[in-house]
Structure 1
């Protein structure tokens, strides 16, 4: 008998409740707003689950991920986070359709380019890639649900990703009630959509690992770059696709890339919009390690569970110091460091670390 359930007499066939018709596991997965979530061994696993559009992220998915990252920060039982995806794409950018596959095709929909193997090219990375991320999932807002919505005109479903073109940014009608777009609408959408999405990763108090299983384009690439550690399968590609549609990178791209690879490399990636292989991304310092596709989840689990056994508050403070280091002067950085060290010394884990050293044993950190 399960815990908390009382034993009751069988009321007989005429009074028994109707069978519990819960959705099948696969239906529950799809019903979870395109985001799978589970917590195992102190690790919060966040998985984009719309492989039919190369995991182009909708507004609903974006908000769900923000909520999960916020929860991870506050939950002492969560000590590390992994962000990954199902299918062949990590995240093709922002899905302007707002997760409605039946949305009508856009006249500006660009057919997916094909590369070897029938895979769509960088464009294939979804328009979300393009304006996609430029409109950020926000662009899911009605103002972008017009012509920008793409159809499954894409190659095979598994290789498609809506190639939302700049139409989503140039249409005259705004999704908000169909009114004419006015100056400030798009900027507001970026401020309320793409930017908070990326900020949620940067601000999460637990270490976040990206396990990039395939193409990451537009805001999908920025989602990976915002993570603290990046693992990539050998088939992964990273694409700053905005320039292909005459758009400016959004979702913190111009903030993240120069800090990761320097301004010259960042401009090269953003000016040309070429697909960057996992191996080249590793050489540039955008990826920590490239592994075989079959080893990606295993490696992500090993790294995440190792972090989950570490001094969680010390890791949070270290993350904050590193992320802020390029935005501050030396005096401020040193002052922040001194404060962080003092705060860390008040934690139980710091006491455990010192005690284990004195006692010559392996520390057992509790994340407190």
Structure 2
């Protein structure tokens, strides 16, 4: 690996810490005094940070985490109650764009959750492709406690993973799901001791970043489409994406590495 690939690039936003080292980008929510609650500035900063990560051709994996003991407490209620504009416009114009960017990205987004991922913070974590939680972390659906409903796509994630009845109970009771429950229901991938969260997440990100970018990009699209499509349409889509991958230089490299009994070096071409 060259010296350039080891170079660390950082960008300091008002509410976000942003860094790129090699193929890994880290986006850290950075309002620990408010438990990383979302205000307008954080929404703007996060959108800009995700845009920077997404347009950086060297980045293959993006880690999303929170500073301090909590991933995110959700929306900043002080700002929310003083809002002059409707919450519908805020969700559609300020939250949906960066959540959609994660979904549509060719890169892998990996959430590292410590403490609570509450409200829109939970929706952000669930929108990522993969989730690692510390053992004491939880997903907190706090909306009903203040007479609101889930937003940021949380209801979609919950009902598709938990089923209607369990999702309804969780939301109407403003209840929490432990890290273990999140793993059991498919809302998260792994849980680790709190002190190991960063190391585990970074190691996983490095392994993912060594994978074949084209294969990962089409896999992400394929699984998202398979959630909505029938079996016959999915087989047809698999065939199309498989042809794209088959025609790639990465496939030739993978085959060569297999027969040479060495690790492949993928280029994304």
**2:103 aligned to which of 184, 199, 202:** 202
Residue 45 of structure 1 aligns to a residue in which SS?
strand
Instruction: Tell me which residue corresponds to 1:90.
Output: 71
Whole-angstrom distance in 2 between the partners of 1:311 and 1:318: 11
Residue 71 of structure 2 aligns to a residue in which SS?
strand
Query: Structure 1 residues 255, 236: CA separation in 2 closer, same or farther (over 3 Å shift)?
Result: same
Query: Structure 1 residues 287, 187: CA separation in 2 closer, same or farther (over 3 Å shift)?
Result: same
Whole-angstrom distance in 2 between the partners of 1:68 and 1:313: 23
Whole-angstrom distance in 2 between the partners of 1:332 and 1:71: 34
In the TM superposition, what whole-angstrom CA distance separates every residue of 1:290-332 from its partner, at most 9, and x where no partner exists?
Answer: 1111100000001001011110121011011112211122232
Whole-angstrom distance in 1 between the partners of 2:163 and 2:267: 37
Instruction: Tell me which residue corresponds to 1:263.
Output: 164
Aligned 1:351-366 pairs, distance under 5 A: 351-366=252-267
Instruction: Tell me which residue corresponds to 1:335.
Output: 236
**2:32 aligned to which of 26, 45, 51:** 51
**Higher-helix-fraction structure:** 2
Aligned 1:17-32 pairs, distance under 5 A: 32=13
Whole-angstrom distance in 1 between the partners of 2:231 and 2:40: 39
Instruction: Tell me which residue corresponds to 1:71.
Output: 52
Whole-angstrom distance in 1 between the partners of 2:177 and 2:101: 25
The TM-score, its normalising length taken from structure 1, stands at: 0.66
Query: By how many angstroms is 1:231 displaced?
Result: 0.6
Residue 222 of structure 2 aligns to a residue in which SS?
helix
Instruction: Tell me which residue corresponds to 1:222.
Output: 123
Instruction: Tell me which residue corresponds to 2:198.
Output: 297
Query: By how many angstroms is 1:96 displaced?
Result: 5.0
The answer (yes or no) to whether the contact 2:73–2:118 under 8 Å persists in 1 is yes
Query: By how many angstroms is 1:335 displaced?
Result: 2.2
Query: By how many angstroms is 1:284 displaced?
Result: 2.2
The answer (yes or no) to whether the contact 1:309–1:366 under 8 Å persists in 2 is no
Whole-angstrom distance in 2 between the partners of 1:268 and 1:347: 47
Residue 244 of structure 2 aligns to a residue in which SS?
helix
Instruction: Tell me which residue corresponds to 2:146.
Output: 245
Whole-angstrom distance in 1 between the partners of 2:45 and 2:87: 22
Larger radius of gyration between Structure 1 and Structure 2: 1
Instruction: Tell me which residue corresponds to 1:116.
Output: none
Query: By how many angstroms is 1:55 displaced?
Result: 0.3
- After alignment, is 43-52 or 273-282 more displaced? 273-282
**Higher-strand-fraction structure:** 2
Q: Which ranges of structure 2 fall in alignment gaps of 5 or more residues?
A: 1-9
* 1:236 has 2:217 as partner: no
Query: Structure 1 residues 186, 34: CA separation in 2 closer, same or farther (over 3 Å shift)?
Result: closer
Query: By how many angstroms is 1:189 displaced?
Result: 2.5
Instruction: Tell me which residue corresponds to 1:190.
Output: 91
Whole-angstrom distance in 2 between the partners of 1:70 and 1:313: 20
The answer (yes or no) to whether the contact 1:72–1:204 under 8 Å persists in 2 is no
Instruction: Tell me which residue corresponds to 1:344.
Output: 245
Query: By how many angstroms is 1:66 displaced?
Result: 2.5
Whole-angstrom distance in 2 between the partners of 1:54 and 1:220: 10
- After alignment, is 274-283 or 61-70 more displaced? 61-70
Residue 170 of structure 2 aligns to a residue in which SS?
helix
